[in-house]
Chains A and B, each alone.
Chain A
Amino acid sequence: MKKYLQIFKISFEEEFAYRLNFILWRIRNVMQIFLTYFIWSTVYSDPAKQIFGYDRTKILTYVFGIMIVRALVLSARAMDVSNDVASGNLSNYLTKPVNYFKYWFTRDISSKVLNLIFATVEFILLFLVLKPPFLFQTNIAVILAFLVSIIFAVIIYFLILFLLSSIPFWIPEIGWGSHFLVTVVIVEALSGSLFPINILPQGLQSIILATPFPYLIYFPVEVYLGNISGWALFGGLMVAASWVGVLWIFLNVVWQKGLKVYQSFGG
């Protein structure tokens, strides 16, 4: 435990070594929120308007909720694993007395803490500038369910990143290509970062809800809004938990097979 605490500290400090990079990355996050915010603010310019199951307060809370949930879930370092595998750098870790998964999970947590701090500051600043109506959730049970859904989301994203990073065991040259396709394009669209899944037709919603992606952003934010409760909430949490189990088993199989073909090119 102590060594992972040290990894956390080092990783946290490492983020400050590239301050300009980090600040520019956060500026980008804020700009991405603008488009989403203003689209929905225009659609719901009439405060009494009810469409897609949201009113102005709920949809703008959804947009602001994305900022915090994204910082918690999508801030991660584990995408660098593909580089370790492709470059042979993985060998350095295999010979050390650390669990490689725990090592990267600790680094992810460190990244999330730092991004959460910045996202909170940005949240407050944007809140003061844009003055949106906001739903402050006061129901303790809902907040607890929200936190549980966030934990599942964090683990699901970690497992997805590791699975993608395993591809270079077999095809080293598509490390970044696969991350672009899945984490930049598919996760952005299907996680609910750009739009809530329930604006789509029922059939399409059902297909997307059967994948792990909406459990990263859409599901936690919907839980916070109180739009999912009772058996639907329980069912959703069970689906998220099942994805954690399925992805974990799949990752273990893929990783073990990957290690067998790993040749440490350049390492």
Chain B
Amino acid sequence: MKRSLIFLFTLLAFVSFVAAAEIKLDVKEHVLPNGMKILMIPKPGVPRVVCHIYFKVGSINEKPGITGLAHIHEHMMFKGTKMMGVTDYAKDAEIDRKIDELMDKIYREKYWTADGGDKAKLAQWQKEFDDLVKSEKPYIIKDEMWNLYMKNGGTALNASTGNENTGYYVTLPANKIELQMLLESDRMLNAYFREFYSEKDVIMEERRLSENRPGYFFSEQVNAAFYAASPYHWDVIGWMDDLRKVTKADLIEFHTKYYVPNNCVAIYVGDFDPQNIVQTAEKYFGRIPKGPDVEPIRTYEPPQYSEKRLYGEGPAATSLQMMFHAPQAGHPDAAPLSVLASILGGGGGGFRGFEPGDLTSLTAPPIIRGQRGGGFGGGGGTGRLNKILVQEKQLAVSASASSRAQWYVGAFQFSATPRLDKNVQPEDLEKEIWAEVEKIKKEGVTPEEIQKAKNRSEAMFIRSLGSTSGLAGSVGRAELNRGWRSILTDYENLTKVTNDDIKRVTVKYFVKDNSLTAIYKRKMGQ
């Protein structure tokens, strides 16, 4: 026993110090025999620990028919296990099986027939379904896992799904990490998806909330038009039809394939003893059997070969978006494009290694009400586009650029809002932006602009090390793709960018056949 303990700690001694900007990102690593990775960033001080688990699965692992499933699955992971959330597992499972059989009949009648099925039959089955749901209630302990976390001082309790990964979060008192390991390993091993059908209703309401945001439908179409082939084509929330029709069997298949220990990483940031974390992780996560290897996505975005344009009208602000396909994270051109975005956009671009991207979460953040001021500020920045279009030529109220390199695709985007009081049209801004791009193709940018972008990246990098949950998110997610050290190499690559690099990537990527231009005009109350 003692020997194995010593062996355990020898493994742990593999600690990584990598210097960047004279700052050390000290991540301790441990790999369990089943392939699950445990990362640790000790930060002594306040006795709390950020505990996150990331799975290498997101909306890009879906396909037509099951869009939105990664996110549905994330919600369902809170619906109990064989142990949690149930008073009598055997009895509950029996009812749950009947519910699934009945719903299978209902779905076939409703969705497999052209006319939507026999109404009387459906009504009868729906009544049977309602009765079964009612009979299951006494066996369900509502949100037991959530309650346990809360009762033990869990904060920042949430989960979120992105294009590429899914995260489960809780911050706990430093003496209660074992609770997280017990509950999380239990739901990896023994997830049992109760109340699937009412949870789908919840998610449809979540989608409606997005739909009611002015401009949402247009932006969803812009994204779908921009990514024609790759699975970035659909939003994380999924299409409404798929949310309606996706089945419990789809969900179980998805869970079995992706929620295996060799497809995930657990990360801890805070006040703890790493030896203790490793020991406890061996106990709990170590009991999960290794799963089959997971195949990466097959469909990358093919070259576009033609210009795309999209026009829309509705209640959102009049605006221009110009999007260009760009390489994925880690590609040699990603760094110059990022520096260029920082130079043009000011507020956007720069060091982006620590940004989580678009996420769909389990619960909404609390809305702060009764506050003044905050919502009206902004719109500034010292980027080149802002200087030229907003300040000098006074054609826009805002103008920005951003570069986003994702795991398998990338996008460079310009956004601008025209001055309505001067009757400027989005198309006028489009011409201005192209003129600026052509200028950069020939002349590049100034040394001061490059230096500023690098300084900003350095400072953002250092700041990101100060946040516990932000650090957990970026290190954990990076580990799943190119390893957490890619955060450091991405940063180092930014520091090496030259004016020639910027000219080269501008020539290469900013061409019409690689672009989508989206013009949106406000319809109401001009």
Q: Are A and B physically bound partners?
A: no
